[in-house]
């Protein structure tokens, strides 16, 4: 049985795949638990003939958070707009809770026979520390990437490509205010290609994107932002990612431009690395379209997303975009790389 059968169990009224009915009608499918990640969520893999699919309950760390279950799908559509690899997601229902379904990254044809390591594991190759449970420094992460590439004797341009993709991820996360991209939610695919014997090391497709674009705000906060321009701007501007930049890694000009602005510091650090990353930041600014992403999700699941959620996402993204426009304008007019 192939995984596409799940689409036959989508409820036309809710847009959710009915996992209870699927399980009842297919009792002999092999399932196994996923132990990694937060223990507050029930997570199980389903083994299909073509791939493994993870089913996990909605995010429950906050009270009155209603919409994160849809955010994986919205983020995936946004990533497509700028051609950045992202895990495929769908949305379902299990018991009285919504759930998220995701394909296994290592079941992609190009990743068969390979393995994954998290950014934490990569950074631990340099120094084992508990500090990286939350924030991490991007310069440390890049040094860890470089160290691994050197150890496995990867060509310099291949190493640079991994670093570019890592920094492009940071750019995308800044635009979409991904607030859960910690060291366990970033991974690398690695191993020897079975056909060529060549060692492969690359950033994995993005996953665990549900806490982005402010989707974990409460319904009350979303309503407040929709009705109050200043609250909307404040909320969007306070959304930060996990990666940080040491002041010692910044130019004097960048420190002045980005005092008390961690998003600006991170964007500038990444763009200084390579012109291709600068081009990607422009691509994000030009191509990311929240309205189209929402419409794509609605077309996929066959129902409209909640009105308040849509209005908040659109407004929140526009505030983020305006904030980043100011950062980019200063970067290019006050001494940044051209």
What phi, psi does 52 have (nearest 5°)? -100, 140
Rg (CA), the chain: 20
Count of CB atoms within 10 A of residue 16's CB?
Answer: 19
Q: Which helix (H) or strand (E) covers residue 304, if one does?
A: none
Tell me which residue of 163, 106, 152, 105 sits closest to 125, measured CA to CA. Answer: 152
**Residue burial 177-207, b: 16+ Cβ < 10 Å; e: rest:** bbbbbbbbbbbbbbbeeeeeeeebbbbbbbb
Identify the DSSP state of 59: P
The model's pTM:
0.93
62 contacts 218 by C-beta, under 8 angstroms: yes
pLDDT of residue 38: 58
Supply the DSSP symbol for 8.
G
Q: Cα(152)–Cα(201) distance, rounded to whole angstroms?
A: 9
- How far apart, in whole angstroms, are the C-alpha atoms of residue 108 and residue 111? 5
Give strand pairing partners of 99.
Answer: 57, 92
CATH number of 3-107: 3.30.200.120
The torsion defined by the Cα of 112, 4, 208 and 94, in degrees rounded to 10, comes to -140
The SS3 assignment for 206 reads: strand
Helix axes 262-273, 275-287, angle to 10 degrees: 130
Main-chain phi, psi angles of 25, to 5 degrees: -85, -10
pLDDT tens for the chain, residues 1 to 338: 999 999 999 999 999 999 999 999 999 989 888 766 655 567 899 999 999 999 998 765 555 567 888 999 999 999 999 999 999 999 999 988 899 999 999 999 999 999 999 999 999 888 755 555 567 899 999 999 999 999 999 999 999 999 999 999 999 999 999 989 999 999 999 999 888 889 999 999 999 999 999 998 988 999 999 999 999 999 999 888 889 998 888 888 888 898 889 999 999 999 999 999 999 999 999 999 999 999 999 999 999 999 999 999 999 999 999 999 999 999 998 765 54
Q: What are phi and psi of 91, to 5 degrees?
A: -125, 140
Write down the domain spans for the chain: 3-107
For residue 184, what are its two tokens? 């366990």
Torsion of CA 106, 111, 117, 123, to 10 degrees: -150
Which SS3 state, helix, strand or coil, does residue 284 take?
helix
């Amino acid at each position: 049985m192939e995984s596409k059968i799940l689409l036959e169990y989508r409820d036309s009224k809710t847009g959710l795949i009915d996992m209870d009915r699927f399980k009842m009608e297919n009792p002999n499918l092999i399932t196994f638990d996923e132990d990694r990640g937060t223990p507050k969520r029930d997570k199980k893999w389903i083994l299909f003939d073509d791939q493994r699919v993870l089913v996990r309950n909605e995010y429950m760390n906050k009270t009155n958070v209603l919409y994160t279950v849809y955010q994986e799908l919205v983020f995936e559509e946004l990533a497509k707009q700028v051609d950045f690899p992202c895990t495929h997601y769908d949305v379902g229902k299990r018991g009285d809770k919504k759930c998220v379904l995701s394909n296994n990254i290592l079941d992609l044809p190009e990743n068969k026979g390979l393995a994954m390591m998290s950014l934490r594991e990569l950074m631990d190759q340099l120094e084992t520390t508990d500090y990286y449970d939350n924030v991490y420094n991007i310069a440390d992460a890049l040094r860890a990437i470089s160290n691994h590439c050197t150890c496995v004797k990867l060509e310099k341009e291949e190493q640079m490509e991994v670093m570019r993709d890592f920094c492009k991820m940071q750019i995308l996360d800044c635009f979409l205010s991904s607030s859960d991209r910690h060291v366990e939610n970033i991974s690398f695919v690695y191993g020897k290609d079975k056909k060529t014997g060549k060692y492969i090391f690359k950033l994995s497709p993005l996953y665990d994107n549900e806490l982005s674009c402010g989707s974990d705000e409460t319904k009350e906060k979303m309503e407040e932002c929709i009705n109050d321009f200043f609250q909307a701007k404040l909320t969007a501007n306070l959304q930060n990612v996990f990666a940080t930049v040491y002041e010692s890694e910044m130019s004097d000009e960048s420190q002045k431009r980005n005092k008390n602005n961690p998003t600006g510091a991170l964007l500038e650090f990444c763009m200084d690395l390579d012109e291709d990353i600068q081009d990607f930041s422009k691509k994000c600014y030009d191509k990311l379209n929240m309205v189209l992403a929402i419409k794509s999700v609605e077309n996929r699941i066959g129902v409209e997303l909640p009105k308040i959620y849509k209005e908040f996402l659109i407004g929140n993204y526009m505030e983020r975009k305006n904030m980043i426009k100011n950062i980019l304008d200063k970067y290019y007019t006050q001494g940044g790389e051209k």
